[in-house]
Structure 1
Amino acid sequence: MHAATDVLLRRFRDGVGEIVPLVSLWAHGSLGAGDYQPGHSDLDLIAVVETPVTMEQWRRIKGLHRGLDLPLADLLHCSYLPLEELADPRVEHVTWAHEQIFRRPVTAVTRRELHTAPLVLHGPPPAELLPAVSDAVLADFVRTDLREFWLDKTRGRRRWLRDVWVDLGLLTVARASVTLREGRLITKREALDVLAGMGAPEAVLADVRARRYGTPRPVLSRFRRGRLTRAFVRSAIGKVLAEGPGET
């Protein structure tokens, strides 16, 4: 593992264990799937705790995250799941992400990732604690996410000037298409290859690869990049949702 990442994860694991009754700590996403890019990839964590987070623990969790004065700490996100609530994907859990603390559910995609490509940092692995996600439930979540979240986000223009929306919009559509067609999850690196086959603008893909993997960056204004990405994502969502496989 990348040295600075390892130090951060160890520091966080030790710190969180002093605040909550920690059962397990898992990483998922790029870190679990082997596509982790230091400084670019988020550090997505799940902390399983014996009991629901109290208000005092909420305050201390916020202090822990804000006090991590280490490289990459701003990319570390963590949701806190009580043992008694592991089985229900609708429950919202205390979460630290993007420099904020709030509540949100742990999605079907994350739950499937935890079963297929986890990195266990402490305690029992996901397979021993977390109920599996069926292909039907996964497909239903993916289709709903495309239709109710991502399609709506293509109606505005300003957000598509930002790197994060360009990257997530493109990668989400590509990964969703494979999940609905084949019932499996793919990495972000694999998603870029899928996007090429879906007809995504070459200059935009080159821009994403450059920022994520350090390849040569094309000459492309953020306004043109945003316009191309928004148009492609909107069109691609329509095509993916119209496909038969994955219909629930």
Structure 2
Amino acid sequence: MSADIPQPVQQVLNAYISLVNDALPGLLAGLYLHGSLALGAYNPGLSDIDFIAITSRRCTPSDIDTLRVVHHMLIERYPQAQLEGSYLQWHDLGRSEDTIPPHPHIHDGIVHASGYHDINAVTWWVLKHRGIAVLGPSPHHFAIQVDLDDLLGRMHHNLNTYWVRFTTEPRRMAWLLDDYGIQWAVLGVLRQFYTFRERAITSKTAAGMYALAYTPRQWHQLIQEAVNIRMGSRASLYRSRIVRAIEARAFLQLIIAACKKVDGS
């Protein structure tokens, strides 16, 4: 197994492969990691183990029932290392949701029999350029073509739908009172800021460190706060969560506007 995979994650993956192979011999043809693990920013207890599993056939209802049992066993055994991913076939790789059939996937600990999870240009870019092969050939040789302009267009849409709600909707703004919400929102928009400027993809933590060099100093305390939370620190740089939330909302507005300017929108 790749030396880039932390040992605790290797334990989970070894158990997963063993359970699947024992219960469903011949089903698992490939296994690849993307997300924070592939980007070198995995944080135990906070990051998911994002995967793409390649199956030798379309999963049957019986296969899916068995996969539910496998994932339930893994969650009980490794509650701090959640697997998140999809069960695809080789010819599905690199394709958009509207060109492949719905398929089994696991999200938030629940195995869904049919649907889509993280089937997008970002996933394919990371898999192609930074993906880790656990089982199967290197993903760097896959014939995956990611149109960067299309990716940026989708990110622009994401900014103006999902992320802007953290500045306008009370339910989303309430997230900014929580540590998790601060790192999620601040670093989430900074990942997009990085991509619009550099035309590449990086991790949340790396995006935060990048922003410390390319944003005004007045925002550095907030950015560092988000990075610290992401890295597992419980010591806050703020005395008031309310002040921090107000500052975070203003920062999100600033970065969303900056992304639009870089994108030319």
TM-score scaled by length of structure 2: 0.80
- Range with greater deviation from structure 2 (24-33 or 158-167): 158-167
Aligned mate of 1:236, from 224, 244, 255: 255
Cα distance, 1:175 vs structure 2: 1.7
Q: Say if 2:32 and 2:131, in contact at 8 Å, map to a contact too.
A: yes
Coordinate RMSD, CA, aligned: 2.5
8 Å contact 1:179–1:185 — kept in the other structure? yes
Distance 2:143 2:70 in 1: 26
How far the C-alpha of 1:214 sits from its partner, in A, is 4.7
Q: In the TM superposition, what are the counterparts of 1:82-161 in structure 2 within 5 Å?
A: 82-91=89-98, 92-102=102-112, 103-105=115-117, 106-129=119-142, 131-156=144-169, 157-161=173-177
The alpha-carbon distance between structure 1 residues 34 and 87, as it changes in their structure 2 partners (threshold 3 A), is closer
Q: How many residues align?
A: 246
Deviation at 1:29?
1.8
1:228 positional shift: 2.3
Deviation at 1:87, TM superposition (A): 4.2
Cα distance change of structure 1 residues 75 and 208 upon mapping to structure 2, 3 Å threshold = farther
Matched, 1:59 2:65: yes
Output the CA distance in 2 between the equivalents of 1:99 and 1:2.
Answer: 21
- Shift of the 40–172 alpha-carbon distance from structure 1 to 2, 3 Å rule, reads same
CA distance in 1, matches of 2:227, 2:97: 34
The offset of 1:191, in angstroms, is: 0.8
Offset of residue 130 of structure 1: 5.3
Aligned 8 A contact 1:143 1:241 in 2: yes
216-225 or 41-50, larger mean C-alpha shift:
216-225
Aligned positions of 1:1-248 closer than 5 A: 1-17=5-21, 18-19=23-24, 21-68=27-74, 69-91=76-98, 92-102=102-112, 103-105=115-117, 106-129=119-142, 131-156=144-169, 157-196=173-212, 197-199=214-216, 201-214=219-232, 216-244=235-263
Aligned-pair identity (%): 23
Q: Which amino acid aligns with 1:192?
A: G
Give distance in 2, aligned partners of 1:165 and 1:243.
25
Question: What secondary structure, in the 3-state scheme, does the structure 1 residue paired with 2:164 have?
Answer: helix
Structure 2, unaligned stretches of length 5 or more? none
